[in-house]
Every structure is written in C-alpha cells, then in structure tokens.
C-alpha cells in the first residue's frame, strides 16, 4: 500500500520576506498590536533597575517563513525570555509558533505565549498554551497584566520578564486595575499616578476619566450630542492624539461631547455599560473608532444601537498617510475587513480616516489627520441637522437614474418600478408630515415631467461659478481641463435638468456625466473622467440653493458612487465626497446585488435599504410551443400502443418543431440522429424552457408584491426554512422598507441585514428594509461554497468530455464580485477544484490559512490551467483571494507531479511565466465595449476593445501592467470560456453588461484566432443541481422563455413607462450578443419582433407609454437587418420594415 503525499502550503508565504537585522537581545516581546508594543516599550524605558537588553517586535513584519527563520536564527536563539501576545489564535502565526517552540525547547529558553483574546475566544487561547515552554502560571500572569493594561501593569510585566530572564527572582505580582476616581492626566508617562487596586471599571469608562457620566445639563447650548467610542488600549498606551483632536473639533463645531473608552464591544461588562449610558444620554450621533463587529453568534445586537442614532465608523488605517494618498483602494485588505466590512455587520456607516501610522523610535503611533477629522465632523453635523429638523421643515432630494444610457431607460432601477415607487414614496412622506404641494403628482404626471417634458433651467452660470470655486482646486482644474469652461454646457446662460418640485421635495433625473450625451455607458464606470459642469451644478444646486438635508437615490443604481476617487476612506479630492460633503444618502437597493450595494455604501457613506426582488415563476409555454408540448404529451400517452401511430405522431412533432425553428434552436440535427433520440432531446429542451424563471413585473418600494404567492414558492424551493416562516418574513418586508426609509430620514439607526438572492435559498435576507451588508471577504471561498462548486466542476468536466472527447486542460473564467459575495465564492472555489487545490479552513475564524495540493492519483484527470478575468469590483474587494490564487499557481509551478498532467509545472521553466490574473487597469471598471452599435461595429473591433481593456496583469509581486500579449495567448490556448449565473432573478438579456463582458470575451478569443472555443454558462440557481449550457443555448432559451413570452410582457405592461423600458431592453442585449458571438440568432429576432412590434397591442403600449423605447426597438431591428445579423423569412416582417425605411 502506498500513501499519496499531499503538499501543504501556508498562506504566510504570501508575505514579503525581509531580514529585520536585529542584534541578539535578552528579552524579546512580539505582538501584532501597536498598542501592546507601545505600552511594553514604555515599561522598558521607565525601568530604573539594571535592565537587560529588551526589544519590542511587530509580528506583522514576520509573516513570511523566511523572515521567521532569519529572526529565529539571528535574534531569538540568543534570547533569555521570549513573550508573544497573539491575537487571533494559532493559525495567525502557526509557523512562527512552531519554530519558536523548537528553538526554545532546544536552548532551554522560556517561551511565554499569551492570547490577545478573551471570553468567547477562550478556546483559541487554550490552543496557544501547548506552545509555552515556561510554566503555565507565568503565561496566566502576563495575560492578566496585558488584560488589565496600564503603565503600572506593564511595569510589573517587565519586572516579571526580567525575573524570568534570570535577573531578579521570579515572583508574579497581582495586576492592578484602572480606576476612574482621578482626573485624566494626558502624559502617558505619568498615567501610573491614577492606577490603584480599586478595579471599578477595568474594561471601560468615560474620558476624561470620571466615576460618573457627564451631566446632561452640561450639553445645554449645544446643537447636538456626539458620543465617541475608542479603544482602552489606546488610552493606556498614550496613543490617543487623534481622538483628542476629534473631541476638540467636535466641541469647536458646537457639539456636546461624550467619550468612552472600551476594551472590546464584545465584553459583557462593556456592553452593559455602553448600552445603559447611551440609552440615558441619548446622543444624536455616535463616532466609533473600534474595529470588528460587536454582533456575532453570541450577541444578536450591538450595544451602540441603544441610542437609536446613526453610528459612523472611523478609520485608523495601519499604514501611512503617504501610502493612503497614493492608493486608489483607500484601505488595505486588513483595514478593509477589520474597520469597514465587519463593522457594517453592526449597521455602521462608513466615515473616513482620522489618523495614520507614523513611526517613532521603531514604534508605530496613530498621528491625527486633521482634514479627515474635519470631514468626519462635517458628516456628523449633517446627520444631526437631518435628525433635528422637524419633518415639515425637512428638504429632501429624490434622484432617479438614467442608466444604462439607452434611450427610453430614464428612471432605470434593477427590479424596481421607480416611478410608481416615487409616487408611493411621496404619499408616504406627506403622511409622515413632510411639506408637499397639493395635489400630489400621480405616477403618470411624474413620468411626463421627468421623461417627456423638456429639461428646465435650474442654475445660471453666474450662480454656478462661485459654487464651483468651493470645490478643491485640483478638482476644478481637472474639470476645466477635460470639459472646458461651463458656458459651453449652458443654454441661454443656464444649466438645464429634468426635475419636479413638490413642496420641500425635489425629484429629478440624474444628469449625464457627459454634456454631449455620448459614450454614456462607457463613462458610467469611468474612474478617470471627471463629471461635467452640468453634473456638478446639479449637486451644488441641491445642497446650496435647494438646501436639501438628505438625498434619496431611488433604485439600483446611479452614477455618483462611480465618480473618480478612492474605493474607501475617501478624501476631499474624491468627487463623491467633494460634492456631498457628508450629506446623508438613503439608497433603496435591490437586495440581491451585494457587490454594487457595497460600492455605494462605502463611497457615499450611504444607508443602503434593501428592497424585494420582483415575483418570479416558471415560464411555461405559449403559442406554438404550447401546442407542441401537448403533442408530446399525446405521444407519451400513446407509448406502447400502435407503433405506426407512434411513428406518425413522432414525425408530426419533429416536423412541426422544424417548421417553428425549434430544432435549430435546440441544436438538433435530424440527419445525424434517430427520430426517437431527436424527440427525447426536443422534449428535454422544452422542459428546460418551461422551467426558466421569469419575473412577473417589477417591485414597487414599500408595496406588497402583486404575485406574492409566486415569490413565496420560488424562495421556498431552495430554502431549508419552513414555508410559513418565509411567508411571515415576506409579508413583513413592504412595511419594513417604508419604515426604514422614514427612520433613516429621521436620523435614526437602521437595523443591518444581509444581501443575497432570495430565490437561491437566502431567506435570511427577509424581511427587507434593512441596511445591507456583505460578508467578510477573508472567509471566501467558504467550505460550503467549495462543496457546492464540486458538483458544478463535475458536471462541467463531464459535459466537456462528452462533447470534445478529451480532458479539459485550459480555461479562462470570468468572475464578478456580486456573485462571489452571494455564493460565498463558488466561482473561485471552482477554479481551485479545476487546479487540484483544496483550501483548508481555520476552525475558529473559518478563514483559509493554508491549502493542499491534491495528488493526481486522487484527481484522476489532468490539472486544469486556469486563468481568471476578474471584474474591477472583484479586484478591489478580493485582494486576498487573488493573492491566494496566485500562491496556488506558484505552488503548482514548483510541484513536479511526474506527469504531463500538471500544465503549471510544464511552463514553470519559462523565462517569463504566464500571468493568470487579468482585469481592467487600477480603478477602472466595465468591459471596455461601448454598447452603442453602428453598422461599422464588428466582432473584431469589439474583441480588440475588450482585450485592450481587460489585459492588465495582476500579481502581488509587481504593479499592475498591461499584458495584451499574455491575455491573448491565454485566450488562444484555452479549451473553453466560463461564466456562472448564480440566481434566477436576472438573466443574460437583462443588461448590456452581460453581452459586453461575456460576448466581449468570446469576440476577443475569436480575434486572437481561437475560433472553435466554446463558452459555457454554469447555471447554479439551484445550487445542488447545476446545469451547464453553451452561451448561445442560454440566449435562445431566454428569448423564447422570457423576452418573447406574452406572460412576461403582459406583466411588464402593468408598469407603464418602466414596463416598456423592460420590454425593449432584451432586444438591445440580443443585438449585442449577435454582433459579438459567431452564432446566428435569426429565429430569436423573429420571436422578439412578433411578440413586440409585430403585436398591435404591445406596439401601441410601447408607443403610448414610452415612445423612445419603441423607437429604440425599431432602430435595433433595422440595424440587425442592415448588419446581416437577421434575415427575416416572412414577407410580413420584410414588408413592415420596408415601410419604416
């Protein structure tokens, strides 16, 4: 029996190797926490005894195994006492612990490992004890000193360390606890003067130190009360200058200030203390500087909720201001997780950086960042103004988008009837006491004013110029250099906009970023092109002349969050921040789109209120397909009876299907198949169409679904919850949406809730009406995602083998952020499965800490050479996952399987190894393809555009750089292309992005000479039973099942202008696909035409409610004919278009 070896690789190897070059030292203290290092270093400096040499070492610089080896050899081997305080448990520094234990056991060096955790993390702390070489009572003593904190305890800890190092006797003194009966002394060197054994509030308290909370009478004359929460460790180490500056600035701006220090918001004592005093003092705003979330499996709520006010999350990045200024991401992956993503689980709002790290004598301190502090205070002031203003005096702006830049798409919002929602919202606001004009505008009045009436003058050039000069000079120069003077955009000396005013509420269509209204889609996600003067004028007008105190961006999604600037922790030189200046944004957003919701949440500091998806149901069959289904049923009933009758029925069915074009559509060639086989495949195809999930209209915000039973059935199919539980949550959703929006406009706290696709079994997203959050990206791919991806991988590999007669060896996978967040990373897990990589998860944190290389004997197939083309949002969100993928590729390149089944090892010896991660340039998004088609647009030109835009190679070891040759080679050598569709609430014809990304990739493959490559779509909407289809197969299925389905069209006709927009859009996307793919879609164009412009009722509806949508469809059909993409065979269709030309 032979045991197969699995090579195991640690993620610590991703870190940069370095030699700290520290000389031998008697006492070495190591920690990831700067506060620990500062505090212990203070004790070293205060020591008056004959001190042995001592050093504090940041563990963050000892992540790579080589760095650890060098430090152990050069420094730790000569130590007399080593103390390590480790946050997170063994898996955060496993290799280092193992090497330290080995050398300490060999050299008889006392090694003391203490945990930085407590309470619910006790199990992780216990796992550290096995690495100690010193007696357990010593680790307990040191743990107590650090838990209590303070200068006296650090002095005691250092005294004990000297004793352990054989300088003095070993005697652990009892740790003292921080008292609050002495006024605060800012000099941390004198903080020992206020330490006693009173032990009144060891974990939390008021700042400046006091036994009692501030007297509410002391806040009289203040416009609002702000509460600042910060870490106790910062107080005890003296690292609190940024907090002091923040408190002083708040006072200067008229706030009454309450400040509290805490050890952790998960500590029971702290939770009770904070909740009790927040409920009593009722601050108007909370500014929180602690990391992580306080909610978890043990605590359902955060203590900060007791105040029922907004909570702004402050950032204290672990890097320098210089690095932040240069970074388009704004926050490192670690800071993003600890200070942004996890706090969102508590419902906190994004703020900005109030400090940055600066080094002094080898230790890092948090230096105040005054512009960020002022920015934070301005944000707090605006939320408090909204909160303090009575509803009848509040002025609110409501903005509808004009995306995706196709005529007839004003008010576009994914899954939402934005105009009916606006009408409903205005009535809700009036009922809540807001001042609106009488009578309220009805839905059709709103549509007429915002879509059909000419734009109105709203701001003159004379009024605009001084407002423009309030923007930072750098932004002014950028706009002027790109767009020229504002006069070029004015009509008769004024800017124009589509808006309607009703009392104190201003409703408008968001203006284009481009004054010429060209390249609208291309500019939508453009990170470099500044907004034009008209766009700037709109927001400057809203804030200055209209005096709005809050904005509602109604529906998914607008353009403001995609303006140039950082991805998080925005500065005043980022356009969203410069325009809003902290103005509260309330953003109703479809609950199934976590990626773009997170972008809006973090770049606009917005409250994202999740709303329901539209109801969905199975497509069924209609018209001739329904007749065909009936004939197949008759055939099944006749089975086993008269064979001649069966033969005749079978022939009739196939003949009719051939006449209908269904055989071509389903890829059935009767000349190559027996009739019974052909019929079986036809039946399977019809069943596949019948099972397609289609939307029954659009959701109206705050209103019950028109087909609630259908939505309930769809959600229940994949959810483990009882149907009655789901029904209760579903029924609660509409009222919860309205309640949350009104509460947000009242400046109240909005309960957080997860984002996800309800019909994929995510009943936890119900009820909607909560402040959406996403998952911690460090935990992806999850173990559950890996398990589900195994089924998808097996199905894919089987289909490829059946169709190609060989193993899959090379592929390019297109991965997006939102599906990754919805599924827990199934796409990335699929890539690892193809490669033969098995991630391993830490049992406590549930994060990947290492991976195994699965032996080929277990795989029983070649490793698949995987290249990733990731979206810009994925690139920004999942930096750690890309590093993990790159590390796996590197490990495979160095892993000799002794077989040609490892393509990575075969290419490892090349002078320039292939890049395998591609995306857009840093801070750029999209596909690079303009969806506006002309007669000159070809597959080749679009393929080149996609290739040029997507060809930035990403690697942890070098800056992103264009590598068109590298991406071209990967596409040319690939056996297949792949994208996943993870839920049934949208499909390929919903949006031009699907065509420009998937079609663009296919066009690029053909452009580089890979004409026979298949593009597969993995349908994982039912995660336990994935379906694999060719891209063209899925397009044909959607056309027949939805775009040409009278059930879907009739449901959309209940939504006036927005319904007409939805009916027209699939044709635009189909035309894109027809241009980009090698497949022909003649039958599909014919089906769509017959169901829309070829149907008198539908055509009349389009022309009446959205004439521009009707014109867009007319032009799209004509362009398809002119480009030779559609050859209508029916004389009636040819005659129709002859009359139109």
Instruction: Examine domains 10-178 and 203-386 and report if their fold is the same.
Output: yes
Token pair in block for residue 157: 């800890």
**Can you tell me the distance from the alpha carbon of 967 to that of 949, in angstroms, rounded to the nearest whole number?**
11
Q: Where are the chain's structural domains?
A: 10-178, 203-386, 389-583, 624-689, 778-1030, 1044-1141
Q: How far is CA 626 from CA 549, 895, 1045, in A?
A: 55, 56, 11
> Average pLDDT in the 410-439 region?
96
Q: How would you class 1060 by CB atoms within 10 Å of its CB: exposed for 0-12, middle for 13-18, buried for 19 or more?
A: buried
CB atoms within 10 A of CB 501: 15
Cα 297-301-302 angle, rounded to 5 deg: 110
Report the sign of the C-alpha dihedral through residues 1069, 1074, 1080, 1082, in that order: positive
In this prediction, residue 182 carries a pLDDT of 30
In this prediction, residue 641 carries a pLDDT of 63
Q: Residue 1126's pLDDT band (boundaries 50, 70, 90)?
A: very high
Cα 820-826-831 angle, rounded to 5 deg: 110
User: Greater confidence, 170 or 926?
Assistant: 926
The strand ranges marked E within 740-896 are: 752-754, 771-773, 810-815, 837-841, 848-853, 865-870
User: In percent, how much of the chain has pLDDT > 70?
Assistant: 92
Residue 1009, helix vs strand vs coil: coil
Residue 877, helix vs strand vs coil: helix
Q: Is 134 within 8 Å of 164 (Cβ atoms)?
A: yes
**Can you tell me the distance from the alpha carbon of 861 to that of 844, in angstroms, rounded to the nearest whole number?**
33
CB atoms within 10 A of CB 243: 27
Q: Is 767 within 8 Å of 612 (Cβ atoms)?
A: no
In this prediction, residue 6 carries a pLDDT of 60
DSSP letters along 831-862, please?
A: HHHHHTEEEEE-TTT--EEEEEE--HHHH-SP
Sheet holding 27-31, edge to edge: 54-58, 27-31, 81-86, 111-115
The strand ranges marked E within 316-446 are: 349-353, 355-360, 363-368, 396-400
The strand ranges marked E within 422-539 are: 456-460, 494-497, 499-502, 505-509
| Helical packing angle, 1031-1038 and 1056-1076, nearest 10° | 150
Q: Residue 928's pLDDT band (boundaries 50, 70, 90)?
A: confident
**Can you tell me the distance from the alpha carbon of 12 to that of 92, in angstroms, rounded to the nearest whole number?**
9
In this prediction, residue 173 carries a pLDDT of 56
- The DSSP letter of residue 1014 is -
DSSP letters along 635-685, please?
A: HHHTTTS-HHHHHHHHHHHHHHHHHHTHHHHHT--TTTS-HHHHHHHHHHH
**Can you tell me the distance from the alpha carbon of 464 to that of 897, in angstroms, rounded to the nearest whole number?**
68
In this prediction, residue 200 carries a pLDDT of 32
Q: Which residues of 39-56 are buried (b: 16+ CB within 10 A; e: fewer)?
A: bbbbbbeeeeeeebebbb
> Average pLDDT in the 78-92 region?
86
> Average pLDDT in the 780-788 region?
94
- The DSSP letter of residue 189 is G
- Asked if the model's pLDDT at residue 542 lies above 70, the reply is yes
User: In percent, how much of the chain has pLDDT > 90?
Assistant: 64
Which residues make beta-bridge pairs with 586? 552, 607
| Helical packing angle, 473-483 and 533-544, nearest 10° | 140
In this prediction, residue 190 carries a pLDDT of 30
Residue with tokens 């903080």: 191
pLDDT tens-digit readout, 549-597:
999 999 988 999 999 999 999 999 999 999 999 999 999 999 999 989 9
Superfamily of domain 10-178: Response regulator (3.40.50.2300)
Hey, what CATH topology would domain 203-386 get? Rossmann fold (3.40.50)
DSSP letters along 60-97, please?
A: GG--SHHHHHHHHHHTGGG-SEEEEEESS-GGGSHHHH
**Can you tell me the distance from the alpha carbon of 688 to that of 681, in angstroms, rounded to the nearest whole number?**
10
Q: Residue 47's pLDDT band (boundaries 50, 70, 90)?
A: confident
> Average pLDDT in the 662-677 region?
84
Q: Give 1099's Cβ-side CA count (13 Å radius).
A: 10
- In degrees and rounded to multiples of 5, residue 598 shows phi and psi of -65, -40
């Amino acid at each position: 029996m032979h045991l197969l070896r699995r090579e195991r690789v640690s993620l610590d190897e991703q870190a940069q190797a370095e030699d700290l070059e520290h000389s031998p030292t008697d006492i070495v203290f190591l920690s990831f926490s700067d506060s620990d290092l500062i505090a212990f270093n203070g004790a070293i400096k205060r020591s008056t005894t004959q001190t042995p040499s001592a050093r504090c070492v940041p563990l963050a610089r000892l992540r790579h195994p080589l760095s650890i080896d060098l430090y152990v050899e050069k420094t730790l081997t000569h130590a007399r006492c080593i103390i390590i305080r480790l946050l997170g448990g063994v898996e955060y520094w496993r290799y280092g612990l193992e090497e330290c234990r080995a050398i300490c056991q060999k050299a008889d060096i006392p090694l003391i490992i203490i945990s930085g955790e407590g309470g619910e993390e006790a199990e992780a702390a216990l796992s550290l004890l096995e690495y100690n070489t010193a007696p357990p009572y010593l680790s307990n003593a040191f743990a107590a000193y650090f838990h209590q904190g303070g200068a006296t305890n650090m002095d005691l800890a250092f005294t004990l360390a000297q004793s352990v190092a054989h300088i003095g006797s070993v005697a652990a003194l009892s740790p003292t606890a921080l008292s609050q009966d002495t006024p605060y002394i800012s000099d941390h060197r004198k903080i020992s003067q206020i330490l006693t054994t009173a032990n009144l509030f060891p974990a939390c308290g008021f700042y400046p130190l006091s036994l009692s909370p501030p007297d509410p009478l002391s806040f009289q004359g203040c416009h609002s009360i702000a509460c600042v929460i910060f870490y106790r460790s910062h107080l005890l180490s003296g690292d609190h200058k940024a907090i002091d500056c923040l408190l002083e600035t708040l006072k200067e701006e008229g706030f009454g200030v309450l400040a509290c220090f805490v050890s952790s918001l998960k500590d029971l004592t702290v939770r009770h203390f904070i909740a009790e005093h927040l409920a009593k003092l009722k601050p108007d705003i909370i500014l929180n500087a602690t990391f992580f979330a306080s909610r978890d499996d043990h605590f359902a709520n955060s203590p900060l909720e007791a105040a029922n006010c907004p909570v702004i999350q402050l950032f204290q990045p672990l890097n320098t201001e210089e690095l932040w200024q240069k970074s388009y991401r704004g926050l490192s992956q670690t800071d993003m997780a600890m200070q942004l993503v996890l706090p969102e689980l508590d419902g906190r709002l994004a703020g900005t950086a109030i400090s940055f790290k600066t080094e002094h004598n080898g230790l890092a301190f948090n230096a105040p960042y005054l512009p960020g502090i002022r920015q934070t205070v301005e944000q707090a002031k605006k939320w408090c103004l909204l909160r303090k203003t009575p509803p009848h005096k509040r002025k609110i702006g409501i903005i509808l988008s004009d995306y995706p830049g196709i005529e007839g798409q004003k008010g576009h919002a994914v899954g939402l009837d934005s105009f009916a929602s606006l009408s409903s919202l205005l009535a809700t606001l009036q009922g809540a006491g807001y001042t609106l004009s009488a009578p309220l505008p009805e839905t059709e009045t709103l549509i007429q004013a915002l879509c059909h009436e000419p734009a109105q003058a709203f701001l003159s050039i004379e009024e605009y110029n001084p407002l423009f000069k309030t923007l930072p000079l750098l932004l002014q120069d950028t706009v002027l250099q790109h767009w020229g003077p504002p006069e070029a955009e004015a009509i008769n000396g004024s800017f124009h906009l589509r808006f309607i005013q009703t009392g104190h509420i201003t409703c408008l269509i968001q203006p284009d970023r481009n004054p010429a209204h060209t390249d609208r889609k291309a500019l939508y996600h453009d990170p470099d092109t500044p907004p034009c003067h008209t766009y700037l004028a709109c927001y400057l007008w809203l804030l200055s002349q209209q005096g709005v105190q809050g904005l509602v961006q109604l529906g998914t999604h607008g353009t403001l969050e995609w303006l140039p600037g950082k991805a998080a922790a925005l500065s005043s030189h980022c356009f969203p921040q410069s325009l809003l200046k902290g103005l509260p944004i309330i953003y109703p957003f479809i609950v199934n789109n976590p990626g773009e919701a997170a972008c809006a949440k973090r770049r606009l500091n917005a409250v994202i209120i999740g709303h329901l998806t539209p109801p969905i149901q199975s497509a069924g069959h209609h018209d001739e397909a329904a007749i065909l289904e009936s004939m197949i049923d008759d055939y099944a009933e006749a089975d086993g009876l008269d064979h001649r009758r069966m033969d005749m029925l079978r022939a009739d069915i196939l003949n009719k299907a051939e006449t209908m074009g269904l055989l071509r559509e389903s890829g059935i060639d009767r000349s190559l198949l027996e009739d019974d086989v052909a019929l079986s495949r036809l039946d399977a195809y019809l069943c596949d169409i019948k099972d397609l999930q289609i939307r029954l209209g659009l959701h109206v915000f705050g209103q019950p679904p028109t087909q609630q039973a259908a939505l309930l059935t769809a959600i229940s199919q994949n959810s483990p919850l009882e149907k009655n539980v789901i029904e209760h949550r579903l029924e609660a959703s509409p009222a919860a949406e309205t309640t949350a929006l009104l509460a947000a406009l009242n400046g109240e706290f909005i309960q957080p809730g997860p984002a996800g696709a309800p019909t994929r079994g995510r009943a936890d997203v119900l009820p909607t009406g909560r402040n959406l959050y996403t998952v911690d990206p460090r935990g992806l791919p999850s173990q559950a995602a890996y398990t589900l991806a195994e089924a998808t991988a097996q199905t894919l590999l089987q289909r490829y083998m059946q169709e190609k007669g060989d193993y899959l060896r090379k592929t390019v996978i297109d991965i997006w952020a939102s599906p990754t967040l919805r599924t827990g990373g199934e796409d990335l897990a699929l890539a690892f499965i193809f490669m033969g990589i098995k991630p391993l998860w830490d049992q406590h944190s549930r994060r990947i800490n290492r991976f195994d290389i699965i032996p080929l004997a277990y795989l029983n197939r070649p490793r698949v050479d995987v290249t990733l083309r990731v979206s810009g949002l994925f690139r920004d969100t999942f930096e750690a996952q890309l590093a993990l993928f790159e590390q796996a590729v590197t490990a495979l390149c160095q892993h000799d399987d002794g077989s040609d089944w490892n393509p990575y090892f075969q290419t490892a010896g090349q002078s320039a190894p292939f890049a395998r991660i591609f995306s857009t340039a840093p801070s750029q998004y999209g596909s690079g393809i303009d969806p506006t088609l002309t007669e000159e647009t070809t597959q080749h030109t679009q393929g080149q555009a996609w290739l040029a835009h997507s060809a930035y190679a990403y690697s942890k070891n070098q800056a992103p750089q264009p590598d068109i040759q590298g991406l071209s080679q990967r596409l040319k050598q690939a056996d297949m292309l792949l994208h996943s569709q993870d839920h049934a609430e949208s499909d390929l014809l919903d949006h031009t992005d699907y065509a420009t990304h998937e079609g663009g990739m296919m066009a690029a493959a053909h452009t580089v000479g890979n004409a026979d490559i298949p593009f597969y779509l993995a349908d994982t909407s039912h995660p336990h039973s994935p379906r694999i289809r060719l891209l063209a197969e899925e397009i044909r299925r959607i056309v027949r099942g939805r775009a040409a389905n009278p059930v879907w069209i009739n449901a959309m006709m209940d939504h006036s202008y927005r319904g007409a927009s939805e009916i027209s859009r699939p044709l635009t996307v189909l035309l894109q696909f027809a241009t980009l793919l090698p497949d022909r879609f003649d039958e599909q164009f014919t089906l769509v035409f017959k169901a829309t412009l070829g149907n008198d009722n539908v055509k009349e509806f389009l022309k009446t409610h959205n004439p521009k949508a009707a014109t867009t469809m007319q032009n799209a059909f004509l362009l398809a004919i002119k480009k030779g993409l559609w050859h209508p065979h029916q004389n009636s269709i040819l005659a129709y278009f002859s009359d139109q030309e």
